[in-house]
A and B are shown apart, each in its own frame.
Chain A
Amino acid sequence: MKTMTFFGLMAGSSLIAGAAMAEGTLNLYNWTDYTSPEMIDKFEAETGIDVVLDTYDSNETLLAKMQAGATGYDIIVPSHNFVPIFISEGLVQKVDATQMENFANVQDRWKNPEWDPDQQYTVPFHWGSASVSYRPDLYGKELTSYGEYFEPSENVKGRIGVFKTPEEIVNLAHLYLGQDFCNENPEEMQKVQDLLVAQKPDVVAYSSEGMNDRLINGDTIITSHWNGYSFKGRKLAEEAGKEITYAYPKEGVIGWSDSLMIPVGAENVENAKIFMNFIMDPKNMGMQSNFAGYGGPIEGQREFMNAELRDAPEINVPEDAKMIFSFACNEKSQKLIDRVWTNVLR
């Protein structure tokens, strides 16, 4: 059968290809749909290094796999709040980004970040924000405060979506309640828990998958969201004749940043560093941004980004909007977050 021969040929050729590329490999472990194939092709063409890409869907999966001893990856891409965990658990090695040629291209605000002050372990990748997105056509007005999300009005009852990242939803609650992130105060955390538990009956789904589908379909009218996904969602919605707006509520939005890191025991450390340097070039990061739909930390990359993305409200934080970066919480506050989340989701 044709399909059988097809698969047979594919199997054969991939075996050959695998053998030929034995030296000069890079094992990249990144978020799903987060790596621009165009950018990878360019990298492979310029350096002759063969890139093998595997994907994960959350920081927790990545951490669980690393902690359980998975090997074979040369680059991982954790979010900023997980970076200190990876460092303190001894899962990553030093890379010293300051020594890399293209490091000068990194915008100042992203250099020496809180989660890696000496820039020893990380190279900055995409950044973005977390907030809420909504259907202005179904909602009928502009969303200006998280109160409308946590304590929904009549016409939104039962049409709320929540994504499945505990820290971020807890932080959104903190923003609304005017409390600090990484809160160790049980009373304040209790307020967060009460808020989330009260919201639960109106929540359609606690899921980070298919958020755009649910918005476009009308299952949810307001949902917690990330700016890049929301940008993609807006474009998809336009095709279907609907609108999605990413909100910048008065309480502010949460900022996040992803970093490239090299795990301890990586086989192709040199190739990994070459890749890290490559990604700090404005042309390459621009290409990458076009694919992922998120902004990046490189000066001059805007020139290489699609106009649509460059000017999108989702990645251009308005003048009067606040963006507050979350940070890695210590053990005590982390335990409280986990407990609140478990109590809410029961």
Chain B
Amino acid sequence: MAAIEHSKRKKRRAFGEVPGLGALAIAFMMFLYLPILVLVVYSFNAGNIVMVWTGFSTEWYARAFANEDIRKAAINSLVVATSATAIATTCATLAALALARGGSFKGKGATVGIITLPLMVPEIVTAVAMLVFFSNIGLNFGLGNVILAHVTFCIPFAFMPIRARLDGMDTTLEQASRDLYASDWETFRLVTLPQLMPGVLAGAMLSFVISMDDFIITLMVAGAGDTTLPVYIYSMIRQGITPEINAVSSILLLFSIVLVTAYWFVTRTKPDGKNH
């Protein structure tokens, strides 16, 4: 009896925890952060060339802060990314719900196809196509053009984690809620959405990041004064990357760490436990 229990316990303990997995995860993190580390370290390089270390200096940060072009570009990037994420995540959530809960209908495959279309088309092609399109129909909302373009390619990125989350989600709670005469909206707000939250947040994060990082589409679509940070950096690369760019990237990194940590604190205080 004891022997059987012992072996069962052994199996159970061994099941979820695969040995060495922790080490792999840590190694993975080191791999992920190595270029970041290089980036930050070399931003303190006294010399002009990034690749040759000549000493420690914070002058590049001073220069980056003083650089008005960089500041303008950074603000544009943030504005675009925030707006595009908000809109794209909303569209994606609605679409994912409709596709996962709406049963089958004619053209479902095509609908999924259209939603994921931006993922398939190479960025340069999207870029030129959008520019030609915008100018032909005379659409000129300035930064709004960029935002529209970003919403378009952010939707599929937001869509996929949400859809993945929905696909395996247990509908019993939702059914129970409806059985208890909650309205559709209440069901959605109090049952579905909280369960969906990790997926929605993952989608929003992905979308924000993709938008911040995009440059080839923005390069083509942006008009005068709408330069975003990646576009600005891209055009500086011609000269070879100076530590100033590293400094800017490090500042952005710091900013994002601050932001995401804040988000983490916020989600921490909320009572949850809607895991399974």
Contact = CB atoms under 8 A, between A and B. Distances in A.
Q: Do chains A and B touch in the complex (CB under 8 A)?
A: yes
Contacts of A321: none
B131 A212 contact: no
Nearest to B254: A3
Interface stretch (B114-122, B171-179, B191-199, B229-237): B229-237
B75 A33 contact: no
B241 A56 contact: no
A55 B215 CA distance: 13
B258 interface: yes
B51 A217 contact: yes
A14 B136 contact: no
B150 to A, nearest CB: 18
B58 interface: no
A72 B224 contact: yes
Interface in A220-246: 229, 232, 236, 239-240
Contacts of A236: 48-49
A156 to B, nearest CB: 21
A212 B75 contact: no
A14 B52 contact: no
B240 interface: yes
Interface stretch (A4-12, A106-114, A325-333): A4-12
A154 to B, nearest CB: 26
A4 B131 contact: no
Interface stretch (B66-74, B96-104, B158-166): B66-74
A64 interface: yes
B54 A240 contact: yes
Nearest to B136: A69
Contacts of A33: 236, 238-239
B240 A1 contact: no
Contact of A57 (B135, B220, B235, B259): B235
A4 B255 CA distance: 8
Nearest to B256: A3
B131 A11 contact: no
A272 to B, nearest CB: 13
A216 B225 contact: no
Interface in B73-122: 74-75, 78-79
Contacts of A11: 75, 78-79
Contact of B72 (A14, A55, A211): A14
Nearest to B234: A57
A69 B52 contact: no
A68 B133 CA distance: 9
Given A209-B238, A210-B240, A212-B240, A53 B69 contact: yes
A7 B239 contact: no
Contacts of A216: 49, 51-52
Interface in B220-266: 220, 223-225, 227, 232, 234-241, 251, 254-255, 258-259, 262
B183 interface: no
14 contacts: A7-B74, A11-B78, A32-B239, A33-B236, A33-B239, A55-B227, A57-B234, A68-B135, A68-B220, A70-B131, A71-B223, A210-B241, A213-B50, A240-B54
Given A3-B255, A32-B239, A208-B238, 20 more contacts: A1-B259, A3-B251, A4-B259, A10-B71, A14-B71, A29-B224, A32-B236, A52-B224, A57-B238, A61-B219, A70-B223, A72-B223, A73-B224, A209-B240, A210-B240, A211-B240, A212-B240, A229-B239, A236-B48, A239-B49
- 7 nearest A-B residue pairs (beta carbon): A69-B135, A72-B224, A32-B235, A27-B224, A72-B223, A55-B235, A68-B131
Interface of A: 1, 3-4, 7, 10-11, 14, 27, 29, 32-33, 52-57, 61, 64-65, 68-73, 208-213, 216-217, 229, 232, 236, 239-240
Interface of B: 47-52, 54, 69, 71-72, 74-75, 78-79, 128, 131-132, 135-136, 140, 219-220, 223-225, 227, 232, 234-241, 251, 254-255, 258-259, 262
